[in-house]
Amino acid sequence: MSEDDEEIERIRRRKIEKIMRDKASVSIQKTNTPVEVTDSNFNEVIKSSRVVVIDCWAQWCAPCRMMAPIVDELSREYAGKVLFGKLNVDENQRIPAEYQVMSIPTFLIFREGMLVGRIVGAMPKKALEQKLAQYLQV
């Protein structure tokens, strides 16, 4: 393979990687279901939408399981305005430690990538919507 061919191959690989990153970012922004959040994709997710709500949960947590269908509903209802993500605290421990998540469920609210609030505990859908409303104001 010549030097020119190698250079073309490098350019091609970089272009494919960029397209894949852009595609992943677009799919995160346009989803109407909660996005799976991990320690490794957390920063990308919180920067992918103007307002992001991260549900910190665990499989063994009954209040967390109670909130799951509510988070799913809100994700559909607020699609395009708010991105909802779900972070399993048992499988991803770095982010909960960094944000001092001591109880679950905890909802971390980000605006433009910055933490602006947190809501702790299970509650009815209307109560969660009322608490989230203050973060949706311009």
CATH number at residue 88: 3.40.30.10
Same domain, 37 and 86: yes
What is the rounded radius of gyration, in angstroms, for the C-alpha atoms of the chain? Answer: 18
Query: Would you state the pLDDT for residue 102?
Result: 97
Alpha helix (H) ranges present in the chain? 3-29, 42-46, 62-77, 94-98, 125-136
Q: Please, are residues 117 and 135 in contact by the beta-carbon 8 Å criterion?
A: yes
Same-domain status, 14 and 77: no
Residues annotated as catalytic are 61, 64
pLDDT for 124:
97
Same domain membership, residue 56 and residue 22: no
Question: Are residues 58 and 108 part of one domain?
Answer: yes
Residue numbers of the chain with a pLDDT score lower than 50 = 25-26
> What pLDDT is stored for residue 85 in this prediction?
97
| Residues 36 and 26 placed together within one structural domain of the fold | no
SS3 breakdown of the chain: % helix, strand, coil, rounded to 5?
A: 45, 20, 30
Do 41 and 106 share a domain, yes or no?
yes
| Structural domain containing residue 25 | 1-30
- Based on the domain organization, do 24 and 57 belong to the same domain? no
Same domain, 21 and 84: no
Same domain, 72 and 119: yes
* Residue 106 and residue 81 share a domain: yes
Residues 51, 94 share a domain: yes
Query: How many whole angstroms from its chain centre is CA 35?
Result: 5
Question: Could you tell me if 46 and 74 lie in one domain?
Answer: yes
- Structural domain count of the chain: 2
d(CA 84, CA 33): 7
